[in-house]
Chain A
């Protein structure tokens, strides 16, 4: 969507990602989503008097992995305290990185060919989670507030891009590509719906080539769809404001998904003075070259390289196939497709099943081995399973795992004998002489008519290709 009156938008994103560590950033409490409130807590992550933070080594490795994937410079860094009062922040300061982040500089290349610069990617701790009940539903004006400190101290990396994006599409593309990288490095599960990846968008507008305009920051966008809609809305709001003679005020804004609009949270004059200073309870973080190299060696290929590999398996991939490849790579399902390819199977079928059936249940993928997936695809390819049956077998594999052939037998997906299928086809030809004549005269659409009848009669167990072969042999 281009903006009216020669305006262009300027977008920079701040992405917060929770790291997939076993324990929190500064204590030994489990880093786990969904536990009973306030059961994953200790003196450190509750900020009890006298407690002290101890840095999690694994969190540092994952932060370095992100930095390496984003071509950042990893340098000796320090921690600072960001001071402000908020009930779900138990120390009333957040331990974060300030002037010396672990990762600085870098870039991310997007599938559309554009490059977005990275300013920094630093470590910090998450806060607890507040729930405001009754009244306004916001902290001021709620009847009461509940706080769950399970999330307090969960490790975060904040990745700050340059103000390089010029459309909501590009911003969404950046966020999607970054998400793929976070998953590929093992740093994050990328689950935006669980809040493990949260995005703040800085949006401004300007007449082309003019200096940057005043920006507004939209906080806490928790889906790629919200990100796209919020940026488009905000840019349009700013253009409308300027063209009607107003000026944009620097402020923090809230995106309301239901109303599909942004609204003011606080203006710059109300901005907090965070009084950053060196965290005296922690020492300098200076990873050795050897440690950094070990992390670099452990990194697998990033999404861009993996997309190229998958595209290379096809001779001139079609648009839908490219989209399937994007989904497969984003969700890190490449191994399934590659397993089919290694067995000489049909990559097109593999991509279709991986990007649809497996993608839809990818959070249960641990049940589905690559070999079971490959076997299922090969059974479909050989005509031993219809497409419908293959999908059902995959569904069972994703739920309980197991052996595809055994599942097919249990479900009664025995291959129909060619004789019995032949008899069924013969029967329908006899029953529908007019349609059969039109098919013989060259109306190919009628093939679908007969396939439909056979499928209905066999409860979907017939193989469509075999039915066509039967029809053609009688033509």
Chain B
């Protein structure tokens, strides 16, 4: 499989973007029926854009850092004129009149969006089993889940349909499926990437980030989509950082903390991979220490109050009045209820109810208010850790990809899948997962590196050290 960097270089040198796109679409056609990766393939739009890239190159112009690179977009990113469903019946058939900032930036850099990928409905889930349009299968073992909620985007890259993809990460929704599909996945610092056009799940936690087969490809895509956006008040004020140029900076002289709470409860294979990663970093010149950050244990509980609370408000607009599904009722209230009853799936309803309750008069202080305090404690705990070390090391998920149906009956078992990824969303900081070693049934294990805000370049460089060690082994 060629990397995005190689593809863009070849196309800028005169290779055909149209042919590259046809190869990608052939790969989609070959396995999409089996894996259910793409909800919508925008063949016409993609061909038009590939042709535009080819024309630009033929005129002797530079066609961009992602010239002709096919890319898959999670279906909660708005794409002008192209269906955007969030894998929900309530948005079925809706075509946004505008594109997300990240989509505009990708296209401006020459990328060719192939289509929209499956997800857990409104990004709520960890297996893509909560999609209203059927689950996505893990290309490495179709009897297992690809993870979630960005399972479709992870599967698109893992199945070789596109070299890179975008997902969104609210509690681990990029890192967990990347780990389960053997990919690099980045949860950027909150505000590094504009959220404009990302259909909100939990606004204070959501971030868009890349999936890639390599650290360098992830760095390239992140560089293209990052940087201040005047349409997103919460986006960081500065332009995109230089990332690709620093991936080979190594870890010499860096201090790394292996964090007990980011390993607790992991399968033995997973733990072994993380310990081996610590050795590799040490050999590469990093100082590795062991630390405990007890506050991380509180993350899951706080997250499952804050995220549903915000979601209960963000998802109120799906009321049947303006767009998407409408189920008639005797009056407007009955219409709202019938629409939402028919349009939302079980997990979405569960979280709307949970969040509504957590914000209700008389319960706010005990639930939402308390969760905000925990969040503040977690931010302080991370800050203390980062005063001492450059980054933290742990597992991305407690186990490798699991089989369908094993956790759908027990929401708590499913939620526990995100126990290592959630703290970074609560703190608004950065984290990356990189495939390192294998576990049960030879499936990939993801190792997670966590850093403070704006530490993406450092994290990518550290991940690259692990990646090179894997390539040699």
- Please choose the segment from B91-99, B149-157, B159-167, B381-389 that sits at the chain A interface, where 4 or more of its residues have CB less than 8 A away: B91-99
24 A-B contacts (beta carbon < 8 Å): A43-B96, A47-B317, A48-B78, A48-B96, A48-B323, A49-B94, A50-B84, A50-B96, A50-B195, A50-B198, A52-B195, A52-B232, A52-B234, A54-B233, A83-B313, A87-B321, A92-B316, A92-B319, A93-B313, A139-B331, A275-B364, A277-B310, A282-B234, A283-B233
Chain B interface SS verdict (over half): loop
Question: Would you give the 0/1 interface string for B316-349, flagging 1 where the beta carbon is closer than 8 Å to chain A?
Answer: 1101011100000001110010000000000000
A43:B98 contact, CB within 8 angstroms: yes
A83 to chain B: closest residue by CB: B313
Q: Mark A146-172, 1 if CB is under 8 A from B, else 0.
A: 010000000000000000000000000
- B196-236 interface bits toward A, Cβ cutoff 8 Å, 1 = contact, 0 = none: 11111011100000000000000000000000001111100
9-residue interface stretch from B25-33, B130-138, B355-363? B355-363
Whole-angstrom distance between the alpha carbons of A275 and B360 in the complex? 5
Asked if A458 is at the interface of the complex by the 8 Å CB criterion, the answer is: no
- Whether the Cβ atoms of A49 and B204 lie closer than 8 Å is no
| Min CB–CB distance B352 → chain A (angstroms) | 11
Task: Kindly state whether residue B100 has any CB partner on chain A within 8 Å.
Answer: yes
Do A277 and B234 touch across chains, with their CB atoms under 8 A apart?
no
Q: Mark A38-78, 1 if CB is under 8 A from B, else 0.
A: 00000100111111111100000000000000000000000
Question: For A277, what are the chain B residues with a Cβ–Cβ distance below 8 Å?
Answer: 309-310, 313, 359, 364, 368
Q: Which of B84-117 contact A (CB under 8 A)?
A: 84, 86, 91, 94, 96-98, 100
A213 within 8 A of B: no
User: Quick check: is A442 within 8 A (CB to CB) of the other chain?
Assistant: no
Cβ contact within 8 Å between B200 and A50: yes
Query: Which residue of B77, B234, B312, B332 has the most chain A CB atoms within 10 A of its CB atom?
Result: B332
What residue of chain A has the Cβ atom nearest to residue B356's Cβ? A275
Compute how far the CA of A280 lies from the CA of B360 in the bound complex, rounded to whole angstroms: 18
User: B316 to chain A: which residues have CB within 8 Å?
Assistant: 83, 85, 91-93
Fill in one digit per residue for A266-289: 1 if any B CB lies within 8 Å of its CB, else 0. 000000010111001111000000
> Does A474 count as interface, using CB distance less than 8 angstroms?
no
B361 touches A49 (CB 8 A): no
Q: How far is the CB of B438 from chain A (nearest CB, A)?
A: 38
Q: Say if the beta carbon of A253 comes within 8 Å of chain B.
A: no
Contacting residues, chain A, for B333 (C-beta < 8 A): 85, 140
A50–B85 Cα gap in the complex (Å)?
12
Question: Which residues on A sit within 8 Å (CB–CB) of B96?
Answer: 43, 48-50
Q: Which of B233, B312, B313 contacts A282 (CB 8 A)?
A: B233
Q: Please report A residues at the B interface, Cβ cutoff 8 Å.
A: 43, 46-55, 81, 83, 85, 87, 90-93, 139-141, 145, 147, 273, 275-277, 280-283
Docked complex Cα distance between A87 and B316 (Å): 11
* Complex Cα–Cα for A140 and B310 (A): 29
**Residue-by-residue, is B391-408 near A (CB-CB < 8 Å gives 1, otherwise 0)?**
000000000000000000
Q: For the complex, give the distance between the alpha carbons of A90 and B314 in Å.
A: 11
Output the nearest chain A residue to B191 by Cβ-Cβ distance: A283
**CB-defined contacts of A55 to chain B, threshold 8 Å:** 233
A57 to chain B, nearest CB (A): 12
Q: Which residues of A contact B202 (CB under 8 A)?
A: 280
Residues from chain B with a CB closer than 8 A to the CB of A139 are: 331-332
Asked if B196 contacts A51 (CB within 8 A), the reply is: yes
CB distance from B353 to the nearest CB of A (A): 13
Interface string of B139-175 (1 = CB under 8 A from A): 0000000000000000000000000000000000000
A81 CA to B202 CA in the complex, in Å? Answer: 14
Is B84 a contact of A49 with CB atoms below 8 Å? yes
Residue of A nearest to B360 (CB): A273
Residue of A nearest to B324 (CB): A49
Chain B residue at minimum C-beta to C-beta distance from A49: B199
Give the most central of A49, A54, A140, A273: most B CB within 10 Å: A49
Report the bound CA distance from A130 to B97 in whole Å.
24
A93 to B319, CA, bound (A): 12
Chain B residues near A49: list those with CB within 8 A: 78, 84, 86, 91, 94, 96, 199-200, 317
Cα of A43 to Cα of B76 in the assembled complex, Å: 15
B317 & A50 in contact (Cβ 8 Å cutoff): no
Encode contact with A along B229-268: 1 for CB under 8 Å, 0 otherwise: 0111110000000000000000000000000000000000
B contact residues around A90 at 8 Å (CB):
317, 321-322
Is B232's CB under 8 angstroms from A280's CB?
no
Q: Which residue of A lies closest to B337 (CB)?
A: A85
Selected contact of B359 from candidates A145, A275, A283, CB within 8 Å: A275
Residues of A within 8 A of B319 (CB): 85, 87, 92
CB-CB under 8 A from B100, the residues of chain A are: 50
A43-B98, A141-B331, A277-B364 given; 9 more Cβ-contact pairs under 8 Å: A50-B100, A50-B199, A52-B234, A85-B336, A93-B313, A140-B333, A280-B203, A281-B233, A281-B234
| B199: chain A residues within 8 A (beta carbon) | 49-50
B136 smallest CB distance to A (angstroms): 21
Q: Chain B 281-311, CB within 8 Å of chain A: the 1/0 string?
A: 0000000000000000000000000000110
Chain B nearest Cβ from A222, distance in angstroms: 24
- A284 smallest CB distance to B (angstroms): 10
CA distance A90 to B76 in the complex (A): 19
How far is it, in angstroms, between the C-alpha of A141 and the C-alpha of B233 when the chains are bound? 41
> Separation in Å of the A391 CB from the closest CB of chain B?
51
| Complex interface: chain A residues within 8 A of B361 (CB) | 273, 275
Complex Cα distance, B100 from A139, in Å, reads 35
Nearest B residue (CB) for A283: B233
Bound Cα distance A10, B364 (Å): 32
Determine how close the nearest CB of chain A comes to the CB of B376; give it in whole angstroms.
13
Q: How far is the CA of A90 from the CA of B312 in the complex (A)?
A: 15
